[in-house]
Amino acid sequence: MSFMMSKRPRGLLAAHKQAARSKDNEPIVTDLYVEQIEEPDEFHSPNSSSYKKRRLSPTNEFAQRQERSTADVEVWEDIKELFSNAVDKYEAELPEEAVELFRQVIHESDRLLRLYPVGNLNRLPCERTSLTSGGYRIPFYCSPIGRTRDPFPIRDPIRATDPLTTFHYVYGTSMLLLGKILEAFPALSKPVEPVGTPAFYLAALDVLEDGENASHSISSHKFLPEDWRLAVSVGRTLICLADEKLRRLTQSPTAAPLVNFQDDLWPKDSAFGPSFSRRPPLTRRVTLPPMTPHEIMLQATDQFSRAMLHMPHPKRTRRHHDSNMETDMSLRLNDEMDGPPTMPGLGTKSRKHLKYLRPRVLYTIANDVLSIADRMQTASEREAWAKWADEVFMQMELEEQTSENWTYPIAIGRGRCWLIIGSTRFEAIESRIESGEQALDSDEAEGARDALLRVVEQLEKAQRNQSTGLAMLQDPFSDVSPMLGEAFVTLATLTPEGPMKEQFFARAAAEGINVDEADEAMDEGV
């Protein structure tokens, strides 16, 4: 009986019903062979009780797998379409619609993963075939005794144009973004979904780690190009976990461990969590509980650095006759630069303004790091991560390779970075200034003033470029006046009495800051 169905069942329940109806008639497909089945002996009558057991040949097994995979081509295409639509809604700031779409992506991804475990998911037959001695066509990488080395890249679920780790990228990123939505809007959660816990982020980390492991264990190629998208999602997930750790430490220094070591975050048959039975004995999440937020951030930025190293450039020169496998795979990833971006970042309703993906991903990476840099536990950590984010913004400035004008968002980002640095340096000497010590002439005060002057430089640059195309993007920090006013007030505090001090206060007042209250607070401190 063919595995091809006239109407493909949707969802886990329908798939289970279909399997129950056909389990007595259809063989069970395993990794290499079909389980032993009973069938009538061709030398006896159909009513004879004499039967024999045999194993189907790999040729027949792969033929039947091909028939089943044909039906699941639609499933994979549906998953990618759902993911694209979910990202659209996420970036358009429509959480009610995005959350339902991400749930569907997770549900269908879980169903596909149950049908094709990690080992089989990436071994579906490709188009290239070869003839055996019996005249049967079987997949090129298969032989009657098993799989041989394939000189061409092995592609993952069903479609040969997708990189090997695309399935895990889509599945894990959906987990990540669904967790971020439910964290911001707890009312949208369902009773079976944990709220106020890092469950979604831990599940996403497991799925993404499975993608990393599968790409190296399944492929027979010694040098497999990195999937930078997977590294970005792993890094963003770790940032969310560091944020959760900071939140718990803020509430209580003796807060509970970050990670729930129990594997019952969801019921094992639930689509809202990976199947923990497939997890390797040691995963990245096991090492997280004893780590500080700073140490988790180090792991996250390691992933970001890998992504930036392997991320293609829009103006990369293509070599049309290069047969090198690694170059070919890099160009396949580079093809995505021409399409609509699928890397959530700015939360904009105007995606048409974002043609190139690389600067957008860099901006997203820098923003994610900057979002928790000012809440790190020590001054040195706050300054270090603000500088790290500033270096990413600087890289965007130096590349200068797209037609989009990123001057406005980059200037705001760099201004935020240096405001964190300047405020951190000021806090280190604030007590000395309040106690009347002559700290304004110290090297620490000079360093704080330099940082704050760079804030003014960057934010005034942003004000001059508010009319550019990307200035239309939604950004919670698009109003630069409060940040400029804070920088001017702090500069005035760090400046000795004189015309310059009054000038800083006047410029702060022009940005809407109540200078009298700020001056009174400063006088009370002194």
The radius of gyration of the chain from alpha carbons, rounded to an integer in Å, stands at 29
Summary mean pLDDT of the chain: 70
Strand partners, 40: 51
Phi and psi for 130 in degrees, rounded to 5? -140, 155
Q: What is the mean pLDDT of residues 304-328?
A: 63
pLDDT at 391: 96
Residues 6+ apart with CB under 8 A from 125: 62, 65, 66, 69, 139, 142
Q: Is the dihedral of CA 147, 169, 295, 302 positive or negative?
A: positive
- Number of alpha carbons in the 13 Å side-chain half-sphere of residue 153: 25
**Contact in structure between 142 and 154 (CB atoms under 8 Å):** no
Task: Please report, in angstroms and rounded to a whole number, the separation of the first and last CA atoms in the chain.
Answer: 87
What is the reported pLDDT for 86?
A: 93
> What would the mean pLDDT of 187-195 be, rounded to a whole number?
85
- Confidence label for 454 from pLDDT (cuts 50, 70 and 90): very high
**Other C-beta atoms lying within 10 Å of the C-beta of residue 46:** 7
430, pLDDT greater than 50: yes
What are 280's two structure tokens?
């390797």
The predicted pLDDT at position 97 comes to 94
> Over the stretch 374-417, which tens digit does the pLDDT of each residue have?
999 999 999 999 999 999 999 988 876 555 678 888 999 999 99
pLDDT of 421 over the 70 cut = yes
Looking at per-residue confidence, does 364 or 14 come out higher? 364
Query: CA 96 to CA 188: how far, in whole Å?
Result: 7
| Alpha-carbon distance values, 250 to 117, 253, 498 (Å) | 41, 7, 40
460 lies in a domain?
A: yes
Closest CA to 365 of 310, 300, 313: 300
Answer yes or no: is pLDDT of 190 > 60.
yes
pLDDT at 140 over 80: no
Tokens 């063989």 label which residue? 27
Structural domain contains residue 21:
no
The arithmetic mean of pLDDT across residues 483-487, rounded, is: 93
Cβ-contact 172, 233 below 8 angstroms: yes
Q: Provide φ and ψ at 291, rounded to 5°.
A: -80, 150
Task: Determine the structural domain holding residue 467 and report its residue range.
Answer: 379-525
Query: What is the average per-residue pLDDT within 169-182?
Result: 93
pLDDT score recorded for residue 293 = 93
In this structure, of 144-158, 308-322, 348-362, the range with the lowest mean pLDDT score is: 144-158
- Residues, the chain, total? 526
Is residue 265 a part of any domain in this protein?
no
Listed range (178-182, 289-293, 370-374, 488-492) with the worst mean pLDDT:
289-293
pLDDT at 516 over 50: yes
Residues 408/472, Cβ–Cβ less than 8 Å? no
Q: Tell me: pLDDT of 352 over 50.
A: no
Query: Which range among 12-21, 187-196, 339-348, 406-415 shows the weakest confidence by mean pLDDT?
Result: 339-348
Count of domains for the chain? 1
Residue 295: C-alpha distances to residues 238, 300, 399 (Å):
10, 9, 29
Would the pLDDT of 475 be above 70?
Answer: no
Phi-psi region of 7 (alpha: psi -120 to 50; beta: other; left: phi over 0): beta
- At 312 the pLDDT is 77
User: Taking 70 as the threshold, does the pLDDT of residue 511 lie above it?
Assistant: yes
Question: Higher-confidence residue: 104 or 28?
Answer: 104
Q: What is the pLDDT of residue 128?
A: 38
305 pLDDT exceeds 50? yes
Structure confidence at residue 286 (pLDDT): 74
- Check pLDDT > 80 for residue 510: yes
Integer Cα distance of 493 and 511 in angstroms? 17
39: part of which helix (H) or strand (E)? strand 37-40
The answer to whether residue 270 is domain-embedded is no
Tokens standing for residue 492: 């005035």
Q: What pLDDT was estimated at residue 99?
A: 95
Say what the pLDDT of residue 15 is: 46
| C-alpha to C-alpha distance for 508 and 494, rounded to whole angstroms | 14
158 torsion bin: left (phi>0), alpha (psi -120 to 50), beta (else): left
SS (H, E, C) 486-511: HHHHHHHHCCCCCHHHHHHHHHHHHC
Question: pLDDT grade, residue 284 (50/70/90)?
Answer: confident
Q: How far is CA 51 from CA 22, 26, 45, 58, in A?
A: 21, 17, 11, 22
Comparing 287 with 488, which gets the higher pLDDT? 488
List Cα–Cα distances, 336 to 44, 197, 313, 332, 345, in angstroms.
Answer: 59, 34, 11, 7, 16
387 falls within a domain: yes
Residue 224 in any domain: the answer is no
Confidence check: pLDDT of 518 > 50 = yes
Q: Read off the DSSP letter of residue 138.
A: E
CA 182 to chain CA centroid, nearest Å? 16
Q: How far apart are CA 212 and CA 165, in angstroms?
A: 7
Q: Is 122 in contact with 187 (CB distance < 8 Å)?
A: no
- Given this model, what pLDDT does residue 325 score? 44
Judge whether 140 and 78 are in contact, CB under 8 Å: no
Residue linked to tokens 């920088």: 487
Dihedral angle, C-alpha 198, 203, 205, 207, nearest 10 °: -170
The answer to the question of residue 469 being in a domain is yes
Task: Check pLDDT > 70 for residue 299.
Answer: yes
- pLDDT tens digits, one per residue of 211-221: 887 765 554 45
Q: Are 361 and 343 in contact (CB under 8 A)?
A: yes
- Pair 25, 19: CB distance under 8 Å: no
CATH number at 510 reads: 1.25.40
* DSSP per-residue string spanning 157-168: SS-TTS-TTHHH
pLDDT at 297: 96
Amino acid at 321: H
pLDDT tens track for 58-112 = 445 544 555 555 556 778 888 989 999 998 899 888 999 999 999 999 988 888 8
Residue 386 lies in a domain: yes
Answer whether 497's CB lies under 8 Å from 441's CB.
no
pTM over 0.75: no
